[in-house]
Chains A and B, each alone.
Chain A
Amino acid sequence: MNKAALSPARRRFLATAPCLIVATALPCRSGFARYADSATDRFAPNAFVRIGSDDSVTVISKHIEFGQGAHTGMATLVAEELDADWSTVRVETAPANQTLYAHLLYKWQGTGGSSAMAEAHEQMRRMGAMARWMLVQAAASHWRVPASEIRTYDGALTHAATARHARYGQLAALAAQMPAPKPSALVLKRPDQFRLIGKTSAMLRVDSFAKCSGRALFAIDVREPDMLTVTICKPPRFGGKVKSFDATRAREIPGVVDVRKVDTGVAIYANSTWAAIRGREHLDVQWDESDAQSRDCQAILEHFRQTARGPGAIAAQRGDVRHAFAQADKVIETEYAFPYVAHAPMEPLCGYLFWDGSRVRARYGCQMTTFDQRQLARLFGLPPERIEIETTYAGGSFGRRIDLGNDVLGPDFAADMAAAARGIGPGRGVKLVSTREDDIRGGWYRPMILHRMRAALVNGRVAAWHNTIVGHSFGVDSVLNARLPSGADALMVEGAANMLYDVPNFLCDAHIVQDRIPTSSLRSVASTHTAFAVERFIDEILESLGQDAVEGRLALLQHAPKEAAVLRAVAQAANWRGGTRTRDGRAMGVAVGRAFHTSVAQIAEVSIGEHGAPRVHKVWCAVDCGMAVNPDVIRAQIEGGTGYGLGVALFGQIVLQDGRVVQSNFHDYRVLRHDEMPEVEVIVMPSQAAPTGVGELGVPMIAPAVASALARLGRPRETLQLPLGVAPSALASSSTS
């Protein structure tokens, strides 16, 4: 390796040569013309870090940023080992490339399961360490001093003895020439050396300024030359098909360019968003509903009830449940029903796609990159490598942006984008937009679920626990297929099948009832319902045994020390005194559990307001998620997840009448507002274990905690079904029309 000092001319040549090479290698076809790597991006030691001569540190994140802080998390890990100046760090989401950017646990590229930190923490640290190592080598070479004497700090290298100093940007070009070390051989920092990881006072998120100044680019903000903006008209009932359509009035709307039947509906092509929306409003479509879903959700629930009577596929069992029930002193039985719930992310689904016949470039908030890439490849008849996906920021997902590629339940957004492009033909970029009505009525809900619970009490102890689950499965027939050998769907039973309480005889069985209603994963997946079922049931059992809700749980968590610890922590923080109603009309409810390897416990303090509306004043939450990389992000995720879960618990329901979705927008799909958000106190359990996840962990426990508090406030058990804040009279009376 050339260790001689570089002459200025040679340095300049070396500086420019790499970017010349880089620039000419880029495709320059229109539609693919993109922001070329500028001359500043000179040092790219691996697929995850780039350092420019302007000191900028660009972290390539495998994970989409949709609010959960993944960009900040990935960047923190890199910046820590790199000793970067945090103010110079920016993050891009990685392009679609499974080889380079696969999730290390799942093996495909994508984000979900609150697993970004868990899967990538060591990898990202090593990628940062690699870059630092090469910078140090460059400084050692340039200054001709031993590498071991060089210190790195805050984006700069120093050699004390010779008073040499350089910012990373100054040595970036030289570092690019250093031999790359083996990442696995690098020595990472010890926790006591951390400057960024675990920093307790808030480290600024990398995306805050952009998001607070209107600069952050979401899919809906994409503007490409010559693009057409598209809306697709979908059937009012799931399973309906286009029979015929009359576009006369639609074509009269100024800005509407064309109206065509496409693979997934009837598409309006326009040269502005407003024209695309208005054009669709003036489109008359006749639907063939012979194969469409036309049931009320009440009928579907009844069907679940019938199904629950018989034995389901066994998800987990131990002991002899039948024998235990036969010997029981007392049997407690109940059922919990869970409505369809819409994710309703703030940004309705949107995406840009350009197809020129031989390749595709898509720009959208893509969450399951490998699967979307394969699906688009199949739809366009191209090899996956010809599908480029640039992932933008996304305005929330909560699971909605997971495209399941479920042929049985029907096309989702990737297929819609492909349909829009194929409908107009190659060579024209299309930006598919959807409205809030599309979002609320378009399906892919958290499925309707029924839990039947039975417990056998013997001598004041829970001797047996039988939980039957009935519901739609979105996992089967999809990319997330998680069938257990018995036939049960892991994505439906998690949290219930692996319930943590010490009960000697246990059975969890499940029935999959298929339907045409497309369903999908909602933030925390099965825990959106299993946590409520388990935690409400244990609460009811302990109540009937006259035991304290916290002490009684602790007695049954002997083999779950982490859950016991978070439960104790939250009980202490909330000053738990049984949770019973205080003089000022408040009561507390508690819930504890585990999801995505993270243990979480919550206590909610609740009162009842006007018209019987629950009012949640404060929530305490203790979470054990291993090493806290970004404590403030953890706090934010727990706060936000609690708010999201509370909104679902109080108001979330999608009602179908005669196969049509009743709700359509925020006036009738009620969401949590400013004044309904409780104060959330977060206790992050100290831990040096590898980080697990938090993105979804605020959600599962709030519903059972609030319901248990309401029970202590005297609300009858029959009224403690979800959603908790909706008066039955509203929908009942409207259905008479």
Chain B
Amino acid sequence: MKSVDASTDTLLFEVNGTPTRSTGDLQTPLLWFLRDDLGLTGTKFGCGIAMCGACTVHLDGIAVRACQLPLAGLAGKSVTTIEGVARTRAGQAVQQAWVQLNVAQCGYCQSGQIMTATALLRENQAPTDADIDAAMNGNVCRCATYRRIKAAIHVAARALSEAGTSE
């Protein structure tokens, strides 16, 4: 039986290491809470139906599409966005590789690409091109920077393995 008045509640979770609370509608997608309530506009809106990956963030380390994640699913969990991912070794390596290879063109999809790539490197420290396709096919780039993204992931993976294990 649904609970009629449980739709707005105080929810406690963490965003980029900062304790955060929401007292709004629990069905609001995390994407809009991040952008409009917290002013963290690095996470982008591309489609709203989890088909383009521009809104990718990490939820307890797992890459998720914030446009389809209601706040209700966040209680006690930890969210990392593009604004915070460079604090991790993997995130920093990915960001540096992206800059080094001039990956970004319009740049709008790159927050999502970087977040997915960082999560991929945590799952697999030496992904092949096929692994990259399988993991990142959900992230659209209309500027078609795909090949540079692949190259940058390889550069980041090498940098991480040279420096030690990635986080």
Bitwise, A204-237 to B at CB < 8 A (1) or not (0) is 1101111111111110110100000100000000
A368 CB within 8 Å of chain B: no
In chain B, what residue has the closest Cβ to A218?
B108
A154 CB within 8 Å of chain B: no
Interface residues of B in 90-134 (CB under 8 A from A): 95, 98-111, 114, 132-133
A425 CB within 8 Å of chain B: no
Interface residues on A, range: 35 or more
CB distance from B129 to the nearest CB of A (A): 9
A607 CB within 8 Å of chain B: no
Cβ-defined contact, A208 with B104, below 8 A: yes
Interface residues of A in 165-211 (CB under 8 A from B): 202, 204-205, 207-211
CB distance from A335 to the nearest CB of B (A): 29
Cβ-defined contact, A640 with B105, below 8 A: yes
In chain B, what residue has the closest Cβ to A436?
B47
A274 CB within 8 Å of chain B: yes
- Interchain CA distance A677-B148 in the complex, whole Å: 11
- Interchain CA distance A237-B49 in the complex, whole Å: 23
A643 CB within 8 Å of chain B: yes
- Interchain CA distance A344-B106 in the complex, whole Å: 13
In chain A, what residue has the closest Cβ to B99?
A208
In the complex where A202-B102, A677-B144 touch, is A395 in contact with B95 (Cβ < 8 A)?
no
Residues of B within 8 A of A643 (CB): 141, 143-144, 146
A3 CB within 8 Å of chain B: no
Residues of B within 8 A of A443 (CB): none
In the complex where A217-B41, A223-B39, A346-B46 touch, is A394 in contact with B106 (Cβ < 8 A)?
yes
B78 CB within 8 Å of chain A: no
In the complex where A66-B106, A346-B106, A674-B132 touch, is A639 in contact with B45 (Cβ < 8 A)?
no
B158 CB within 8 Å of chain A: no
Q: Which of A210, A272, A633 neighbours the largest number of chain B CB atoms within 10 Å of its CB?
A: A272
A666 CB within 8 Å of chain B: yes
- Interchain CA distance A443-B116 in the complex, whole Å: 32
Cβ-defined contact, A396 with B106, below 8 A: yes
B139 CB within 8 Å of chain A: yes
Cβ-defined contact, B144 with A644, below 8 A: yes
CB distance from A120 to the nearest CB of B (A): 19
A632 CB within 8 Å of chain B: yes
- Interchain CA distance A217-B39 in the complex, whole Å: 12
Cβ-defined contact, A213 with B86, below 8 A: yes
Contact of A632 (CB < 8 Å), options: B52, B102, B108, B142: B102
- Interchain CA distance A208-B143 in the complex, whole Å: 14
- Interchain CA distance A641-B145 in the complex, whole Å: 10
In chain A, what residue has the closest Cβ to B96?
A212
Interface residues of A in 626-668 (CB under 8 A from B): 632-633, 636-637, 639-644, 646-647, 665-667
CB distance from B107 to the nearest CB of A (A): 3
Cβ-defined contact, A204 with B106, below 8 A: no
- Interchain CA distance A221-B41 in the complex, whole Å: 6
In the complex where A68-B105, A69-B105 touch, is A214 in contact with B147 (Cβ < 8 A)?
no
Contact of B29 (CB < 8 Å), options: A274, A344, A636: A274
Cβ-defined contact, B51 with A214, below 8 A: no
In chain B, what residue has the closest Cβ to A66?
B106
Residues of A within 8 A of B108 (CB): 218, 345-347, 395-396
Cβ-defined contact, A213 with B137, below 8 A: no
In the complex where A223-B41, A346-B46, A435-B48 touch, is A216 in contact with B142 (Cβ < 8 A)?
no
Cβ-defined contact, B102 with A205, below 8 A: yes
Residues of B within 8 A of A666 (CB): 46-47, 49, 51-52, 140
Bitwise, B36-69 to A at CB < 8 A (1) or not (0) is 1101111111111101101000000000000000
In chain B, what residue has the closest Cβ to A254?
B25
Cβ-defined contact, B47 with A665, below 8 A: yes
In the complex where A66-B106, A212-B114, A217-B41 touch, is A673 in contact with B98 (Cβ < 8 A)?
no
Cβ-defined contact, B41 with A214, below 8 A: yes
Residues of A within 8 A of B141 (CB): 346, 643, 674
CB distance from B18 to the nearest CB of A (A): 15
Bitwise, B76-94 to A at CB < 8 A (1) or not (0) is 0000011100100000000
Q: Closest 6 A-B residue pairs measured CB to CB?
A: A214-B42, A643-B144, A211-B107, A395-B108, A67-B106, A67-B105
A residues lining the B interface (CB < 8 Å): 65-69, 202, 204-205, 207-218, 220-221, 223, 229, 254, 272-274, 277, 344-348, 393-396, 398, 435-436, 632-633, 636-637, 639-644, 646-647, 665-667, 671-675, 677, 679-680
B residues lining the A interface (CB < 8 Å): 24-25, 28-29, 32, 35-37, 39-49, 51-52, 54, 81-83, 86, 95, 98-111, 114, 132-133, 136-137, 139-150
A-B contact pairs, 11 of them (CB 8 A): A205-B102, A212-B95, A212-B104, A213-B83, A214-B40, A272-B32, A347-B46, A395-B108, A633-B102, A639-B145, A674-B150
